[in-house]
Amino acid sequence: MSALPQTMLNYITRRDHRVMLRLNSWRAPRWIRLWMICATRGGDGWLWYAMSAVILLFGGPERFSAVSAAAIAATVGVLLFMWLKKVTHRRRPCAIASHCWSTLLPPDQFSFPSGHSITAFAFAVPFSLFYPSLVAGLMFCAVSIALSRVITGMHFLSDVIAGAAIGTILGYCAFVFYS
């Protein structure tokens, strides 16, 4: 690896570890802990399945295109993050340092990129583009899920930023394809 990419990677890693150490020792207020646990559990999939069902029932003439776009974006996202995790082998923050309040177990052993973030944005972006009146709620959910992965010690900040970017790109491309 050349000097510039290695220097950037080292910089990102140092910053990620600094944020991780601060968050792992932060005794968040009870309401934030509850919000983060609910958000991360919502990101396990049930929130997006429920939202897809509601859109299929009440989404009007664009409902099949909207759900298809989100489903395709999320499926490609899952395949992509599974491959990237196998390639990068980045350890999770919870495997490096213990967390002071979160006892969640990671779904797999590798951290990069955040699958929850990819999936959240892969669903939220096409749904937001098909139904602009829902953008605030959808983005709140997606950002909450991504943030929860960092605050609960499951991912580094760069993992969720990369995941959100990948999910956004996939969601937008799927929207363009289906609109």
Model confidence pLDDT, tens digit, residues 76-112: 999 999 999 999 888 888 887 777 667 777 777 888 9
Structure tokens at 99: 């967390």
Q: Tell which phi-psi region holds residue 129, choosing left (phi > 0), alpha (psi between -120 and 50) or beta.
A: alpha
Q: Give the residue-averaged pLDDT of 24-38.
A: 89
CA 1 to each of CA 5, 72, 83, 116, 159: distance values in angstroms, whole numbers, following the listed order: 7, 34, 21, 29, 20
Q: Cα–Cα distance between 58 and 36 in angstroms, integer?
A: 29
The model's pTM:
0.91
Q: Give the residue-averaged pLDDT of 103-131.
A: 91
pLDDT of 68 strictly over 60: yes
DSSP per-residue letters across 40-98: HHHTTTHHHHHHHHHHHHH-GGGHHHHHHHHHHHHHHHHHHHHHHHHHH-PBPHHHHS-
Q: Give the residue-averaged pLDDT of 20-34.
A: 87
* Structure letter (DSSP) for residue 134: G
Check: CB of residue 120 under 8 Å from CB of residue 141. Answer: yes
Model confidence pLDDT, tens digit, residues 142-177: 999 999 999 988 899 999 999 999 999 999 999 999
Read off the pLDDT band of 74 (50, 70, 90).
very high
